[in-house]
Amino acid sequence: TQLLEQSPQFLSIQEGENLTVYCNSSSVFSSLQWYRQEPGEGPVLLVTVVTGGEVKKLKRLTFQFGDARKDSSLHITAAQTGDTGLYLCAGGSGNQGGKLIFGQGTELSVKP
Amino acid sequence: GAVVSQHPSWVICKSGTSVKIECRSLDFQATTMFWYRQFPKQSLMLMATSNEGSKATYEQGVEKDKFLINHASLTLSTLTVTSAHPEDSSFYICSARRGAEIREQYFGPGTRLTVT
């Protein structure tokens, strides 16, 4: 069974600080996605990475897919209170019957 | 775009009753839909995979007789929680896959179920 270990699970920082969230696995994924979810709502897709070593930027968010496609990171620069939420990574692999494998999630709180 | 809706967005029911949640893909056809359950501040837990025209595949530990899934058309899947109990209270989220790519999964807004 493929697993995605996401860390940290909880993060509380001050506005303006930088942070990094990690997703690691011993298995290879064909793609990896990052979502942000607010309370009472469904996950919203932020980015999909598919190529080993790929780096994608979305304003202050930088996403990286490991060379071996086993890990990924999300880096937020100069966090804002509006970044508060639950961040989820999810990997796709043909070995799991078309299912997405989710990490445990990172609950981010950015304080003013 | 790829929009998935859920209905209702929230529901309160009494213990022992059944409740049905609908998941619809509004602008694409989805041969496969997924049902997840989520507890506060936790990740999504896959309950079952729903395939149009065939029986759903349930994850280990999920009672198929309690959580009935029907995928009657390419745009609609339903989850019925039968004989609901307070421990079934949770946030239920569906997703619909467009095409064959695993990453082409689009999530609904979720349904909050409270069983009293």
Residue A86 touches chain B, beta carbons under 8 Å: yes
Instruction: Identify residue B71 by its one-letter amino acid code.
Output: H
| Rounded Cα–Cα distance for residues B68 and B52 (Å) | 14
Pairing of strands A71-76, A61-65: antiparallel
Question: For A100, which of B57, B105, B109 is closest by C-beta distance?
Answer: B105
What pLDDT score does B25 carry? 96
User: At A79, is the pLDDT very low, low, confident or very high (cuts 50, 70, 90)?
Assistant: very high
Distance from the Cα of B116 to chain A's closest Cα (Å) equals 19
What token pair was written down for A36? Answer: 């942000």
User: At A93, is the pLDDT very low, low, confident or very high (cuts 50, 70, 90)?
Assistant: confident
Residue A88 touches chain B, beta carbons under 8 Å: yes
Residue A107 touches chain B, beta carbons under 8 Å: yes
Burial A39-53 (b: 16+ CB within 10 A, else e): eebbbebbbbbeeee
Question: From B93, which residue of chain A is nearest by alpha-carbon distance?
Answer: A42
Distance from the Cα of A50 to chain B's closest Cα (Å) equals 10
CB contact under 8 Å between B103 and A94, yes or no, is no
Chain A residues lying within 8 Å of B32, measured CB to CB: 98
- pLDDT tens-digit readout, B36-91: 999 988 999 999 999 888 889 999 999 999 999 999 899 999 999 999 999 999 99
CB contact under 8 Å between B110 and A41, yes or no, is yes
Contacts by A80-85, CB closer than 8 A, 24 or more apart: A80/A15, A80/A110, A81/A15, A81/A110, A81/A111, A81/A112, A82/A110, A83/A108, A83/A110, A84/A108, A84/A109, A84/A110, A85/A36, A85/A37, A85/A38
Residue A50 touches chain B, beta carbons under 8 Å: yes
What pLDDT score does B2 carry? 86
What token pair was written down for B114? Answer: 């409270």
What pLDDT score does A96 carry? 64
pLDDT top residue among A27 and A93: A27
Residues in CB range of A112: below 8 A, 6 or more apart: A15, A81
Given a cut of 70, whether residue A97 has pLDDT beyond it is no
- Can you count the helices (H) and strands (E) in chain B? 0, 11
Looking at residues A36-61, what average pLDDT do you find?
95
| Rounded Cα–Cα distance for residues B37 and B55 (Å) | 19
